[in-house]
Amino acid sequence: MSTRQPSLKTLVFWIILLLTYVVTLYLPESEPFWKTILITTALIYLATNRKKFQQPIIEDPVSHVRFDGEFIFIGDHSIKRSEIRKVAIDSVKDRGYFSLPYNQISPGEIPEFIFPSSKFTSFRAHLQKEFDTNVEFIT
């Protein structure tokens, strides 16, 4: 198991949040000022760490989604083919979107990824070839 050291930016963010909470709790008359600092700090943190919250773009979706017997492998996750009833796949501008909205990997986590829209047609054809006819494609 690896131990990950928090970055200085993350530590500063959490210290400011803690201080804001403590000051708001013990000095309620200064609450609007501290709420403003809290909101500003959170927005700055989210803006500077935006890449942490974005999904990576999978350049080759056909090799990312593999079929082996009765299982489908999406990256590191596997799902039984018989459990899949709906596949969401769509293309908007320069991005393609794939997900299995009714097949959770863990609570609140579904298999999904983004890929270049130039690969949309070939990827959809690959999926339609591999899945049974009873699987519905949502676009």
pLDDT tens digits, one per residue of 95-137: 999 999 999 888 878 899 999 999 999 999 999 999 878 899 9
Helices (H), the chain: 8-26, 31-48, 61-64, 120-130
pLDDT for 53 equals 60
Within this chain, do residues 71 and 125 fall inside the same structural domain, yes or no?
yes
- What number is the average pLDDT over the span 80-89? 92
Q: Which has the higher per-residue pLDDT, 134 or 7?
A: 134
Residue 2 lies in a domain: no
Residue 94 lies in a domain: yes
Within this chain, do residues 27 and 93 fall inside the same structural domain, yes or no?
no
CA nearest to 83, candidates 108, 104, 63: 104
Phi, psi of 134, rounded to the nearest 5 degrees:
-80, -5
Residue 115 lies in a domain: yes
When pLDDT is cut at 50, 70 and 90, the band that residue 1 belongs to is: very low
Within this chain, do residues 69 and 86 fall inside the same structural domain, yes or no?
yes
Domain encompassing residue 42: 8-52
Within this chain, do residues 65 and 112 fall inside the same structural domain, yes or no?
yes
Q: How do residues 45-72 score in pLDDT, each as one tens digit?
A: 777 776 666 677 899 999 999 999 899 9
Domain count, the chain: 2
